[in-house]
Structure 1
Amino acid sequence: MRHFLLPRLGTGLLVLWAAFTLSFALLQVLPGDAVLIKFQNPDLGLSPQQIEEMRLAYGADSPLWRQYLHTLFAMLHGDFGFSVQAGVAVSALIADNLPGTLRLALCGFVLAVLLAFALAALSRQPALRGLRALLQSVPALFISIPTFWLGIALIQVFSFQLRWIPVINPSPWQGLLLPIVAVAVPISAPLAQILLRGIDEVSTQPFVAVARAKGASESRVLWRHVLRNAMLPVLTIAGLLLGELIAGALITETVFGLGGLGQLTQQAVNNQDVAVLQAVVMISALGFVAINLLVDLLMPLFDPRLQRVAGGVR
């Protein structure tokens, strides 16, 4: 297991370092200055000398290499710095806004998986063989819908036309229903496509014919034999899509006006709050790496050949 896990941990650390370096470089070339944006406000009545002292306090005048090393080592210790606009630690802002984004992303992912499996199961039903081509084309339709457009369309239909979900003062779960659907539909499309293709390929294998010859029902063959062997590519694509899921959650939060990392990111972009933007990028990258590492650990449970590799047998 050590030989299986250590290379993946090393790759994950390399990805995190690359994400930090690239985001730091891109944020430094942004026009403007977050310190000046806030403290040059005439209402604050600060003199140029006082503004310069604030720039020194935030390290804005330090050489870029020093800012890079300081920020890197601080993040290694869990210190994301201070928000210029909010005047509080960035870690506090992340702690306040991250739970809402995680709740939306996880609920959206669960619904996406359920939609993918529902499409796959329906396409295998004998009574629906005439609709098989239509059901297999549905994922392509889902994936072509932009997240922001879908969110606006859901609000228009279910809130303004049908009046099922109130726009003003909804309950916590009422306010999450439409955002969860907006996040889940585009993510369910590639999952369903990969699952359908995997089911078709596995269904032609000899062991499936043997199971049918032994008298197993079609539902037992599907759930017991076919799906387990078709899950490997689905797990792989699911790990990759979770990064896209976080991005979709950020857009959806902005469309629906939800509190979370999306709203925090929008405010940070408007105010060029570099520390907050850097923290959001690193939190997203860390989640992406952790989820893909978890997928790598789950893969041997579905493929005995990977169990031998993980155990050190070559």
Structure 2
Amino acid sequence: MKNEHPPLLSVQGLKKHFEIGEKQLLKAVDGIDFTVVEGETLGIVGESGCGKSTTGNLLINLLEKTEGKIILNGKDMDSLTKEEVRNSRADIQMIFQDPFSSLNPRMRVVDIIGEPLKTHTKMKKSEIQEEVFKLMDAVGLDRSYGKRYPHEFSGGQRQRIGIARAIALRPKLIICDEPVSALDVSIQAQVLNLLIELQKEFNLTFIFIAHGLPAVKYISDRIAVMYLGKIVEITTKDQLFERPMHPYTVSLVSAVPLPDPHRRDRERVILEGDIPSNVDIPSGCRFRTRCPYAEKKCELIEPELIEMEDGHFAACHFPLNGNTSNLLSGEEGMENHEGIFANETK
């Protein structure tokens, strides 16, 4: 599905390598490309250590990137002046994973939510207070809570405070870094529904980072799957669940529990082995050491993230097209796979 709107965010060849020891690099993010259109929600999902949270920190400039470009609203972030960089911080905000440690325990709620307004606007004190009350109304917090401190609230209420702070400046993009993972399941649903309501009300754009597919599917328009620092598949949420192409995505989708007992007869794909180290990444396809369909080509050549179908990108030499029946094997698969797959998807 092609989108005619220009992207709000364009990420090109983004890398973040950490130096550890002598001549060793931990490749947390190792060259990723994606775009986000205004008003949509892009979910980023993957196992712990795949680089999804590092990606979020790079976008909001909490970490300095090693390489690549981040283009927000048509402007290359590297070309901005100091004043423009300061102003751009109002355009990107973050909702953090831990709703307690991300809030200053010595500040009252009204001051926490009003801090961005005080820093980035010329609003009067009375105007800031009134705007804070409106934000509290928007996230479902009683105005009388404004004089309380973070420790006086539950986890879900603290996360609502963090959300109110994030939307205070009406940012163009909000990075949601696993915002519901520390909450009870019932509270998770409330927070997800709140984010969806706020997105409609304030025309927000989200990047929603999580390790669980159900939450990502519920809130996202498109989903990017990361593995060992790379995006291995990206498409709409419907396509991802109905026709996953990368073997890793297939295994993730198969692990999602189904509430319907009549549909629980589907085959579960269980991955063997451990995730390789980000320091010693396998040659070729970095998923090949755990992939049950790996061939010689997978060891020799790293697959590129290419468009397999309209708007459906995958980085796999032998995409499964949702099941193993389309998989080619052996030398024949290496020689003829691209042409045969192209015919199948027409």
* TM-score between the two structures when normalised by the length of structure 2: 0.23
Between structures 1 and 2, the one with greater strand share: 2
Higher helix share: 1
- Higher-Rg structure is 1
TM-score by length of 1: 0.24
